[in-house]
Amino acid sequence: MKRFRPLLPLLLLVTACEKDITVDLPPAERKIVVEGYIEVGQNPYVLLSVTQDYFAPFDSLSLLASGVRGALVVIDDGTTSDTLTEVSQQFGYLYVSGNLVGEVGKTYSLYIRTQEGLELTSETHCFPPIPLDSAWFKVQPDEDSLGFAWAHMTDPDTLGNVYRWFARRIGKDDVFIAPLGSVFDDKFINGESFDFAYNRGQLPNSTSDDDLNEEEGFFKVGDTIVVKFCTAGRATFDFWRAAESQISNNGNPFAGLNFIESNIEGGIGIFEAYTPSYDTIVATK
């Protein structure tokens, strides 16, 4: 015991030097946040909100309060200009087009003017579809019935293609869900044919049983999986690569902050177009 006694004063000194630190962050600059989506065959829609302070409360009431109501939201495809309808006062930040449908090859411009007179603009393009060659389910090694969704694709020999992966389990998921790392480009796969796999994504703050146990991140034998594989533009890759990286680093004090790329002039967020193709997988061993 004698050899350890000299350490005791040092430990007491270190403990005595501990001090609580309160970080007083300045109020965040108020900016309009835009989430605008166009999908081939579907009506475009736009969600508008405002930025919040870092330590501001986050619940259903604060989410509704952050919505931007009464804005003028217009989407133009070069032929038709449509003023979007604010769907309801309960969800006053949602604006939907009733006269436009996403079409391959078209470029769409977005114009927004808020009640305060703030103006925002953006532009996106619907690229041709590049479907998967095939898709299947494979059980992971050391697992009895759990595995990932696999696919084989051939990237065209034209550099600059961008893809995003979504999947939905019939009877289990209400919407298509993108896992982390859902977006990729063809920088290293241009013109190549290859296999790749994705885990099962989950909705934020999910309390579903299979998101809280050993099935988290896995598909399982018996699932019917619909894969929505989308082509998109460069802005989609830049935005979601940074956003998903930031999400995966959440809570890590040693991770660096990622600047979220935006294609919104006058605000922040994303205005993007998807051209999807679909594959259905019946998960069997």
Q: What are 234-271's pLDDT values in tens digits? A: 999 999 999 998 888 765 544 455 678 999 999 999 99
How would you class 230 by CB atoms within 10 Å of its CB: exposed for 0-12, middle for 13-18, buried for 19 or more?
buried
Q: Is the pLDDT of residue 6 over 90?
A: no
Output the pLDDT for position 29: 77
User: In a 3-state reduction of DSSP, which class is residue 205?
Assistant: coil
The two three-digit tokens of residue 189, written as one number = 């796969």
Poorest-pLDDT segment among 4-13, 172-181, 223-232? 4-13
Which CATH code is given to the segment(s) 32-125? 2.60.40
Output the pLDDT for position 258: 62
Q: Is the pLDDT of residue 223 over 50?
A: yes
Output the pLDDT for position 62: 62
Pairwise CA distance, residues 22 & 141, whole Å:
47
Domain with CATH 2.60.40 in the chain: 32-125, 134-233+275-282
Angle at 111 between CA 107 and CA 117, to 5 degrees: 170
The dihedrals phi and psi of 245, each to the nearest 5 degrees, come to -65, -40
Mean residue pLDDT of the chain comes to 88
Architecture of the structural domain at 134-233+275-282: Sandwich (2.60)
Q: What is the pLDDT of residues 91-144, one digit of tens each?
A: 668 999 999 999 999 999 999 999 999 999 999 999 999 999 999 999 999 999
Output the pLDDT for position 272: 98
Does residue 58 or residue 170 have the better pLDDT? 170
Does residue 130 or residue 11 have the better pLDDT? 130
Average pLDDT score over residue span 36-58? 86
Average pLDDT score over residue span 157-180? 97
Q: Is the pLDDT of residue 17 over 60?
A: no
Q: What is the pLDDT of residues 62-77, one digit of tens each?
A: 666 778 999 999 999 9
Beta carbons of 242 and 270 less than 8 angstroms apart? no
Q: What is the pLDDT of residues 186-195, one digit of tens each?
A: 999 999 999 9
Handedness of CA 253, 259, 264, 268 (dihedral sign): positive
**3-class SS string, the chain:** CHHHCCHHHHHHHHHHCCCCCCCCCCCCCCCEEEEEEEEECCCCEEEEEECCCCCCCCCHHHHHHCECCCCEEEEECCCCEEECEECCCCCCCEEECCCCCECCCCEEEEEEECCCCCEEEEEEECCCCCCCCEEEEEECCCCCCEEEEEEEEECCCCCCCEEEEEEEECCCCCCCECCCCCEEECCCCCCCEEEEEECCCCCCCCCCHHHCCCCCCCEECCCEEEEEEEEECHHHHHHHHHHHHHHHCCCCCCCCCCCCCCCCECCEEEEEEEEEEEEEEECCC
CA-to-CA separations, 20 to 17, 62, 243, 268, in angstroms, rounded: 10, 29, 31, 35
What is the pTM (predicted TM-score) of this model? Answer: 0.85
Output the pLDDT for position 90: 64
Q: Is the pLDDT of residue 200 over 90?
A: yes
Average pLDDT score over residue span 53-64? 63
Beta carbons of 36 and 270 less than 8 angstroms apart? yes
